[in-house]
Amino acid sequence: LEPPKVTDGVNKVPRVLKNQRKSRAGKRKGCYSKAEGNKVTSNYQEEEPGFLDDRDPNYDSETQGEVRYVESIPKLDVGEFECEAERILSDLWSDSCISEAVTQTKDLNLTERAKSDFIRFVIVDSIDQVKSSHRETASEFLAELRYCKIFDIPLYVAAIFAFFDQDLPDLSIDYADCCTILGNFIARLTADECLPEDFRQKCRNKIKEFNSQDLVSQVLSHADAVLVDRKRLDRVWGVGGGARPLNFIRTQMYQIGHDYLLNSDLDEASRCVNELEVPHFSHEMVYQIGLIVIFSMEESAARKMTVLIDHLFKSDQLTVNQIITGLNRLYLNIPELLIDMPGAYQTFNRWLNFIKDHLNCIPNDVFDGMPEKKTDKVLRSFEFLNSKEIAEIRNILWAGNCQVH
């Protein structure tokens, strides 16, 4: 065959070659090279030069050269960041394990902006939690993040400035003591070296830039007042839970029941019980409520206190066992109450009937074991015995379901 002739830059080939299906460039149709197109190479993409797979049978470590493997953790978007932050704080409020929360925060690989938002999120969520123990945990958590060098001082400064602009106006509407709480946080962060000492003065110099100047001024004034005595900063959130004296907790529970008897505000009573942070001691609340019913000797008080117990039970602040325990403790104390309140048994019996009608959660066995009036008359005849001996006799009579004629 004659070689192709070039005319005006175009290869003119003979008609025999022109009509062939074989590619004129020496490669198959749709392929980038001559080697492509077969079953072996068509399913693999070309690898970048200089990078080989160490699991390849033909891999040669000597020809590979120096290779570094860098672990890359993707950044979180806004939606994923909020979900992860809520999960970490939920675990922190439930078990108060600060070290675990710090480790989880470190693994998030947050950006600088996200770290600042995370600090704001911790403060806002601790304010929503209401409990002082949660705020103390939040203060220790933020200080631990600074101690572990996960967050820097500029991040805390940026978070507080953003809190002043975005969160403080709205939170002050929902929480009347928001300025006091934020002032405590600023004082603790300053003492824990998360905020610089001149931070409050810088805020005063830029106070005109904030939307709520009066609120910011209140926050800074309270922070200055708290920082005067730094020895007491560890108790800036108060002593909560079971660390307080037992008599103090009992007095508070009695006061909660007495206030509810006057204003009939169930939500306020429930909030006050929640702030005590002693769920293991809630049976004392039932006992104190029973004392209020007996000393008031009014049917309206018995009805109100029954509604209060029902509300606390439905809000998961009282359990069935705690209600039964409180009632049993009141059973045992009736002989002593009879000395000051002769009609204690009659009032208590009426209150138990209200509880039986309104609370279906209490088993009937509890009410079946209640003493009867004739048994109580037997107890009154033993006036020469002390209260402990009377209680033992009463238990024997109740256990045997004694009937006296």
Task: Report yes or no on 12 lying in a domain.
Answer: no
**For residue 276, what pLDDT band results from cuts at 50, 70 and 90?**
confident
- CA angle, residues 18, 23, 24, in degrees to nearest 5: 60
Q: Is the pLDDT of residue 112 over 90?
A: no
The confidence score (pLDDT) of residue 333 equals 86
The confidence score (pLDDT) of residue 284 equals 92
Is this structure's pTM higher than 0.75?
Answer: no
Both 256 and 202 in a single domain?
no
Mean pLDDT in residue range 70-86? 78
Domains contained in the chain, number:
2
- If one compares 94 and 368, the residue with the highest pLDDT of the two is 94
Both 182 and 250 in a single domain?
no
Task: Report yes or no on 154 lying in a domain.
Answer: yes
Both 166 and 289 in a single domain?
no
Conformation bin of residue 175: beta by default, left when phi > 0, alpha when psi is -120 to 50: beta
Both 322 and 269 in a single domain?
yes
Q: Is the pLDDT of residue 400 over 50?
A: no
Both 277 and 356 in a single domain?
yes
Where does a domain end: 204, 235, 266?
A: 235
The confidence score (pLDDT) of residue 254 equals 93
Q: For the segment 342-366, what is each residue's pLDDT rounded down to a tens digit? A: 888 888 888 888 888 888 778 777 7
CATH number at residue 360: 1.25.40.180
Mean pLDDT in residue range 183-209? 90
Q: For the segment 150-185, what is each residue's pLDDT rounded down to a tens digit? A: 999 999 999 999 898 888 888 888 888 899 999 999
Where does a domain end: 195, 219, 235?
A: 235
Task: Report yes or no on 164 lying in a domain.
Answer: yes
Provide the percentage of residues in the chain whose pLDDT is more than 70: 73
Provide the percentage of residues in the chain whose pLDDT is more than 90: 24
Q: Are 391 and 332 in contact (CB under 8 A)?
A: yes
Where does a domain end: 173, 205, 235?
A: 235
- Cα–Cα distance measured from residue 6 to residue 68, given in angstroms and rounded to the nearest whole number: 53
Mean pLDDT in residue range 254-279? 89
Both 253 and 281 in a single domain?
yes
For 41, 65, 178, the CA distances from 52, given in Å and listed in that order, are: 16, 10, 60
The confidence score (pLDDT) of residue 374 equals 42
The two tokens of residue 348 are 């208590």
Domain interval for residue 290: 241-370
Q: What is the 3-state secondary structure of 205-263?
A: HCHHHCCCHHHHHHHHHHHHHHHCCHHHHHHCCCCCHHHCCHHHHHHHHHHHHHHHHHH
**For residue 42, what pLDDT band results from cuts at 50, 70 and 90?**
very low
The confidence score (pLDDT) of residue 288 equals 93
- If one compares 121 and 395, the residue with the highest pLDDT of the two is 121
- Cα–Cα distance measured from residue 59 to residue 352, given in angstroms and rounded to the nearest whole number: 84
- If one compares 61 and 39, the residue with the highest pLDDT of the two is 61
Task: Report yes or no on 52 lying in a domain.
Answer: no
User: What are the backbone angles phi and psi of residue 5, rounded to the nearest 5°?
Assistant: -100, 140
For 47, 60, 261, 303, the CA distances from 51, given in Å and listed in that order, are: 7, 11, 79, 81
Both 95 and 231 in a single domain?
yes
Mean of per-residue pLDDT scores for the chain: 79
**For residue 64, what pLDDT band results from cuts at 50, 70 and 90?**
low
Q: Is the pLDDT of residue 45 over 70?
A: no
